[in-house]
Structure 1
Amino acid sequence: MLKTPFLRRALAATALLALVASHPASAEDSAVPPQTATRNLAQEESNRALVIRFYNAVFNQHDLGIASTVLAPDYIQHNPHVPSGSPPFISFFTEHFKANPEARSTIVRSAADGDLVFLHVHSTSNPQDRGSAIVDIFRVDHGKIAEHWDVIQPVPEHAANENTMF
């Protein structure tokens, strides 16, 4: 039996440190994904090309016909203004483009990681519009767009710095 409180605390701290050090890190412990998985770069590029083709057709050519072939039947939409599902998506953007016939979205950059495709976009309603900076995230499953998230930020007239949003 340890006779001093200091020795008891030191032993308890050592035991706790040994326990923590021997515990493998979980996904919740780190934002860095495990490096054991092999990426399928060809599939990621195929997913990226699919999303870019879809995005340009819908948001630049206003061709919503592609949506019925590219969106998954159970397409999940996370933008709170747009309903989930392919038919509701088509209906929503048909009305949107009637009201905004000059709307365009320029893809500034894109990336893919696993089943996710990321687009950084400059979207405008007309040529005079400063527009919005958008990050769109798509999840692709079996060659179909299965899910979508976006973050939208208006392009301000004046910025506190000299950097652009693109």
Structure 2
Amino acid sequence: MTTLPCLTAGSPAIMATRHSPLRRRIPNRPDGHFMQSTPMSAFAKRKSISMKPHWMISGLAALGFSLSAAPSYAVTPVSPAVAMQRASSNKQLVIDFYNQFFNQHDLSAADRYIGDRYIQHNPSVKDGKQAFVEAFTERFKQAPERRNTINRAVAEGDLVVLHVHSTSDAKDRGRALVDIFRVENGKIVEHWDVIQPVPDTSANGNSVF
């Protein structure tokens, strides 16, 4: 086996390679001399990157890439004012539905405010608008004085939250409800709720409302 000599940066072999006729250097000054290279600035780097060789541009184009415009997957931004207006409209829509359906017992309000696909998370009621109407038709018959008083309403994005005092009649202490509705394209499409009886006493003396 032949052992190659160890080469260092200053060895004649390296120097010969640097100045070999095979390694042509093109003068970069008008007078024919060579100008010492300096570190490339950030601007120059960006400029050099943008100056793609013709073969590279052709290759990218063949692969379907565009150098002038990149695909955008961002959703059109909504200004805070528009978002606030939508939330306010959703809140009013849910309040109108709630008062008409649960307080006036107007069952036709379901057709005006609930979407064709209605997702129900209350375990005692089936999915769908028709199932919802049927369930409360029977409940209103059993408690014709049933009322739901809205104490608070909060809206954010497509969700509307109501804090409600529900009673079957004037003598009923009732139940505390948190009803959550999701609104889509001007229709109520989903519902969640949390229910607890209004207690007789309280350790802190505060109402649940």
TM-score by length of 2: 0.61
Kept after mapping to 2: 8 A contact 1:110/1:119? yes
Aligned counterpart for 1:83 among listed residues 107, 120, 126: 126
Q: For 2:154, which of 88, 104, 111 is the aligned residue?
A: 111
Q: Which amino acid aligns with 1:138?
A: F
CA drift at 1:38: 4.5
Deviations 1:129-150 (A, max 9, x none): 0001100000000000010000
Report the residue type matching 1:69 in the other structure: R
Q: Which amino acid aligns with 1:55?
A: Y
Name the structure 1 match of 2:193. 150
What is the Cα deviation at residue 82 of structure 1? 1.1
Instruction: Report 1 or 2 for greater relative contact order, CA contacts < 8 Å, sequence distance ≥ 6.
Output: 1
Q: Point out where structure 1 has 5 or more consecutive residues left out of the alignment.
A: 1-35
Distance 2:176 2:78 in 1: 32
Instruction: Report which of the two has the higher share of helix.
Output: 1
- 1:27-65 CA-to-partner distances (Å, cap 9, x unmatched) read xxxxxxxxx974411111110000000000111001010
CA distance in 2, matches of 1:53, 1:69: 10
Q: CA RMSD in A?
A: 1.2
Aligned partners of 1:68 and 1:87 also within 8 Å = no
Please identify, of 147-156 and 36-45, the stretch whose mean Cα deviation from structure 2 is larger.
36-45
Within 5 Å, give how 1:57-136 maps onto structure 2: 57-136=100-179
Q: What is the identity, as a one-letter code, of the residue corresponding to 2:148?
A: S
> In 2, Cα distance between the equivalents of 1:59 and 1:161?
31
Runs of 5+ unmatched residues, structure 2: 1-76
Query: If you compute each CA radius of gyration, which structure gives the higher value, 1 or 2?
Result: 2
Alignment: residue pair count: 131
How many Å separate the matches in 2 of 1:66 and 1:147?
16
- Over the matched positions of the two proteins, sequence identity in percent amounts to 56
Asked if residue 160 in structure 1 is aligned to residue 203 in structure 2, the reply is yes
- 1:43 corresponding residue in structure 2: 86
Distance in 1 (CA, whole Å) between partners of 2:79 and 2:163 is 26
